[in-house]
Chain A
Amino acid sequence: MIDKVNQMTISELSEGLRTREFSAEELTRHSLQMIEQKEPELNAFITVTAERAIEDAKAADKRLATKAETNPLLGIPGALKDNVCTKGIRTTCASKTLENFVPPYSATVADRLADAGMVLLGKVNMDEFAMGQTSETSYFGATKNPRNTNRVPGGSSGGSAAAVAGDEAVFAIGSDTGGSILQPSAFCGVIGLRPSYGLVSRNGIVAFASSLDQAGPITRTVKDNALVLNAIAGHDPRDTTSLHVREPDYTVGITDGVKGLTFGLPTEFFGEGLAESIKDAVLDVAKKLESLGATIKEVSLPSLKFALPAYVLISSAEASSNLARFDGIHYGYRAEGAESLDDVYVKTRSEGFGAEVKRRLMLGTFALSSGYYDAYYKKAQQIRTLIGSEFKRVFASVSMLIAPVAPVTAWPLGQSITDPVQLYLNDIYTVPIGMAGLPALSLPVAKDEDGLPIGLQLIGNRFQERLLYRAGVSIEEVTR
C-alpha cells in the first residue's frame, strides 16, 4: 500500500490513515525517503525538518487513534514556502540576508495547518523574497522542474510546486503576488490556487508587496486544494486586511458540474506571444466545457495592457519599504568592516540581497521619490482601480474567466536570468489577477510538444473560490 501513496489524494490518504492501512509515521517516513532520494537533483527544499516531521506524525497517530478527529489534513505531510514564518525553524526567504533568521513566532497559516494536524516536512525553495519567475534567484540554488529537470519549475513558489510534483510533499503552501502560485503550478503540472485578497491571513508571511500578497495551496488534485484552503482561509485579527468572508466548506458542490455556468474567454489573454500549443489546449478545454452544458463567451478587458507596468511599480514600491528593515541593525545579515552608519546600510544591503531584489528595490524607491510619486506610483494605483472595475463589469455577465496561465511552458534553466524585462513579460496573464484582488485556480490540462505541462487558469470574482473548484473538478475529469 505504502508504495502507492504517491498517487493518492488527501482524501484517500486520510482514509488510509483512519483505517490503519498505514500510519502517519509510515507516510511521513515515506515522504522523507522521497525527499532524500530526490533532493540532490530537485533542490526543492531549503530546510528539511525531519525530526519535527516524525514528531508531528507521532502526534497525529495519537490523535488518529481517538477516532474523534475528522480533519482530513491530520497526519498528511506538507511543506511551507520559506517566507512563511515558523517558530523555531529558520525562515530564509531564500535570501542570504535571512540565512540564519529563526522566527520567535509562527504565521497564522502555519498555526492553522498545525492545528489541522499537518506534518511539517520542511521549508521549500523560492525566488529570493518571492521576486522572480523561475526560483533561480534563490541564495540556496535553483530548484529544478520534476517533470523535466533541465527546466525551471517556475516561480516564485517553485519549491512548493516542485515538492508536490516530485511527490516529496502531498501538498505545499505557496504565496502569490503577481503569479507566484499560478505560474509554477502550471510549469510543474500541479493544482495551485491564488485566493482572493483578504481570504487568507498574511500575518507571518514575510511581505513582498503587501497589497498583493496572498498565500495559497498547491496540491495534486482540485479537491485536495479545497481541503487545504478549508484549513487556512478566514479572518485573522492579526491581519486587518483579512476579511470575514470564508465559506464553511470549500468542497461543497464541487462535483456539481459546469452545466449552466458561463465562461468568459478574455481576448487580451490570447494575443501575440502566446504559444500555439497553449492556445489550442485552452480553447480545447473551452470546447469540452461547452459540450458539458457550459456557455462560452468572448469578453474584453482593454486596460489589461497597462497591468504589467502598473504591477511592477506598485509591487516594487511596496517591496522597497517592506524590505527596508533588513538593514543589518535590526534584521538580517550585517556586513563586516563598515566605517559609518551609512556604510553599514550600504554594505549590508549590497551584500545581503541578490541582483533581482536590488533591481526591484531601486525601482520601487525611485517610483516613490518626491517628484516622481504622482507620475509613477499614483498613476499605477489609478490603473489598478481601472482594472478592478473592468473585471467587475465582466463578472456581471460571466461566472468566471478561462485563460492560459503563461504564454509559454517551462523554459530551460539559466536561459532567462539575463533579461529581466523579457522575464517580466511572462507574467502578463497573472499580474492582473493580483492587481484586482481576484482568486484564480491554475491546473494542468495538456502537455506541449516537449512533454511539458500546459496550465490553464480559471479566474473568478472575489471570494468565488468554490465556483472555481467546481469548474476545476470538471476540467480535471475532461482532461484526464
Chain B
Amino acid sequence: MSDYEAVIGLEVHIELHTKRKIFCFCEIKEDPAPNTQTCEVCTSMPGTLPVMNREVVEFAVKAGLAVGGTINHMSQMDRKNYFYPDLPKAYQISQNEHPIVSGGKVDIETEAGQKTIRLTRIHMEEDAGKLVHIEGEGTLVDCNRAGVPLIEIVSEPDIRSAEEAIAFLKKLRAIMVYTGITLARMQEGEMRCDVNLSVRKKGDKTLGTRTEMKNINSFAFVGKAIEGEFKRQVDVLEAGGTIIQETRRFDDKTGQSTSMRTKEDADDYRYFPDPDLVPIRLEDKEIEALKSEIPELPDARKARYIKDFDISAYDAERLTDERDMADYFEKAAKATTAPKTIANILISDMPNLQKDHPLPDPVKLAELADLQADGEINSSTAKKVLSALLETGVSPRQYVAEHDLLQINDEATLLPFVLEVLKERASVAEDYKAGKKKALQSLIGMVMQKTKGRANPVLIRTLLEDRLK
C-alpha cells in the first residue's frame, strides 16, 4: 500500500448566489414548493430561448480573479446533450471549448506544509431539475433547480491524499464565499464534488487509469471516498488486475463506491456551441472593475491578523475560515486592546454558548475582552458576563458594575477572606503543609466561593502560599 500514491483531480460545482436563474427571470428563493420557481424558459417549453444573466458572468469572473485565473475575453456557451428525466431540454447549457476562466491556483496547508494546487479552468453552467420519488406515485420532476447557475472548478491532478483534497476544498470554499458569489452551504448541496482518482507506484511519472466518483456533497465523504477508492485500486493492482475507466457511485451510507458505467457505455455528450446564445465578450475595463470588487481573501487576512493582532497562525486560520466570522473578529479586535482575548473567546468559549443566540455587538465583546485583559474581572466572571451578553446584549461594564463583579485585586480586601478560610478549614491547610499539594487548589476554590467568584485567583494563591509556608 505504501508503495503507491493516489493522483487526484477534483471537479467542484458551486452554486452561484445570484438573484435570478442563469437564463430566465425566475427569482431564486429559499425552499420553494415544487415547480413554483419556474417559467416557460427554465422548464424548456418548445420555442423558448435562453437569455444570459450578466450577473452570472460577473460572478464567474470574480471566481476566476479570486484564484488568480486568466479571464478569457471571449467565451462561449455549449450544449451538452444527454437524455435524463431531470433535464428538461435533454441538453445542459455549459461551457466546453471556450470556458470563461483558464488556469488559476489554490494554496493549501497540511501537516506536510504548504502546497499549490493548480486549476485547469472554471466554467459556467445551469443546474438540472430534481427527481422526487414518491411511494405509489412514481417519480416526479421538480424544475425549481433547473437553470440555477453553477460554476464548475476543475483542478489539475495535483492532489495526492484525502487530507490534501479536504484542505483544497475548504480553502476553495472559503475563497468563493469571501468573494461573495456563493453561500456554498454543503448541506444544501450548494457545493458538490466529483473525484477523479488513479493510483501509481511512487516515483512513476505516467498516470494510471482513472475512475470518477460523482456528486459527493461533504468534505468528510470526499475523504472517505478517496481513501476507499485508493485502497480498492491498489488491491486490484496488487491482485494482478487492471483498473477499468469508469464512473462510480459513492454511497455515503456505506462509505463504499460501486460501478455505475464504464467508458464503453459512457455518454457521448455531442458538445457544440449553443446557437441561441451569442459569445460572451469581456473588456479589460469590465474585468478591472470586477477585480476592484473582490475583497481581501482568506490567505491575505490570515497573514494580516497574525501581524496586526499578534494571534497564532492556528487561531488566524480558524478565524478566517468563514468570512462572517473573520469580519466579526476584525470589528471586535479593532475595538479592544486585547485581540488575543477576543480570539480565545471566539474559538474556545463562544462555540459552546452561542448556539441559540446571534453573535453580540462586537464593540460589547471588545469591552468584555478589555475588562478581562485588564484584570478587572477574572476568567470565570468573564464567562458569566459573556452568557449575559449573549442572552440580553447588556453592556459588560454595566453588568459587572450592577452585579458587583469587579475582581478583587488588592491584598487588603482579599486577606480577611483568606484568613477566614484557613481558620475554618485548618485540616485542609494541614494536609497541604504535610505535602498534599492538591489541597491548595481546594483552598483557592473556597476563597473564591466566599468572594462570590470575584477574587483574583493568582492573588489568592500568593496569599495562601505566604500563609502556609
Contacts and interface: CB of A to CB of B under 8 A. Distances in A.
Interface residues of A, number: 43
B380 interface: no
Contact of A237 (B40, B48, B51, B277): B51
Contacts of B275: 209-211, 241, 318
A240 B272 contact: no
Interface string A198-217: 00001111110111000000
B390 interface: no
A287 to B, nearest CB: 41
A270 B202 CA distance: 70
B141 interface: yes
B45 interface: yes
A325 B277 contact: no
Given A318-B275, A325-B90, A377-B272, A368 B51 contact: no
A295 B141 CA distance: 63
**5 cross-chain pairs, A with B, having the tightest CB-CB distances, nearest first:** A324-B90, A211-B275, A368-B270, A210-B275, A204-B47
Contact of B89 (A237, A324, A370): A324
B324 interface: no
Residue among B44, B52, B88, B270 with the highest chain A CB neighbour number at 10 A: B270
A241 B276 CA distance: 7
A309 to B, nearest CB: 17
Contacts, number: 103
A306 interface: no
Interface of B: 40, 43-52, 79, 81, 83, 85, 88-91, 141, 268, 270-272, 274-278
B47 A321 contact: no
B281 to A, nearest CB: 12
Interface in A171-207: 202-207
B45 A238 contact: no
Contacts of B268: 369-370
A327 B48 CA distance: 17
B49 A202 contact: yes
A83 to B, nearest CB: 8
A113 to B, nearest CB: 15
A85 B44 CA distance: 13
A239 interface: yes
Contacts of B51: 237-240
Nearest to B82: A324
B46 A240 contact: no
A324 B90 CA distance: 6
14 contacts: A91-B47, A101-B46, A103-B45, A103-B47, A209-B275, A210-B276, A318-B272, A321-B272, A325-B46, A325-B88, A327-B90, A365-B270, A369-B268, A373-B272
A51 to B, nearest CB: 24
Contacts of B43: 330
Interface of A: 83, 85, 91, 93, 98, 101, 103-105, 107, 202-207, 209-211, 237-241, 317-318, 320-321, 324-327, 329-331, 341, 345, 365, 368-370, 373, 377
A98 B90 contact: no
Contacts of A98: 46
B278 A241 contact: yes
A331 B46 contact: yes
Contacts of B79: 321
Contacts of B276: 207, 210, 240-241
Contacts of A241: 49, 275-276, 278
A85 B49 contact: no
A129 to B, nearest CB: 10
A237 B49 CA distance: 10
Residue from B81, B83, B278 having most chain A Cβ neighbours under 10 A: B83
A100 to B, nearest CB: 13
B45 A104 contact: yes
Contacts of B40: 103-105
Nearest to A93: B46
A370 B79 CA distance: 14
A320 B90 CA distance: 10
Contact of B44 (A325, A345, A365): A325
Given A211-B275, A240-B278, A324-B90, A345 B270 contact: no
B279 to A, nearest CB: 11
Contacts of B50: 240
Contacts of A210: 274-276
Nearest to B79: A321
A240 B24 CA distance: 12
A95 to B, nearest CB: 10
Nearest to B88: A330
Contacts of B89: 324-325
Contacts of A331: 44-46, 88
B91 A238 contact: no
A457 to B, nearest CB: 24
Contacts of B47: 83, 85, 91, 103, 107, 203-207
Contacts of A101: 46
A377 B90 CA distance: 20
A240 B49 contact: yes
Given A101-B46, A104-B45, A341 B85 contact: yes
A67 B158 CA distance: 75
In the complex, which of the residues A98, A320, A326, A331 has the most CB atoms of chain B within 10 Å of its own CB atom? A331
A239 B48 CA distance: 9
A239 B23 CA distance: 11
Contacts of B278: 240-241
B87 to A, nearest CB: 8
Given A105-B48, A325-B90, A329-B141, 11 more contacts: A107-B47, A211-B275, A237-B51, A240-B278, A241-B49, A320-B81, A321-B90, A324-B83, A326-B46, A331-B46, A369-B268
Given A240-B51, A240-B278, A324-B91, A85 B272 contact: no
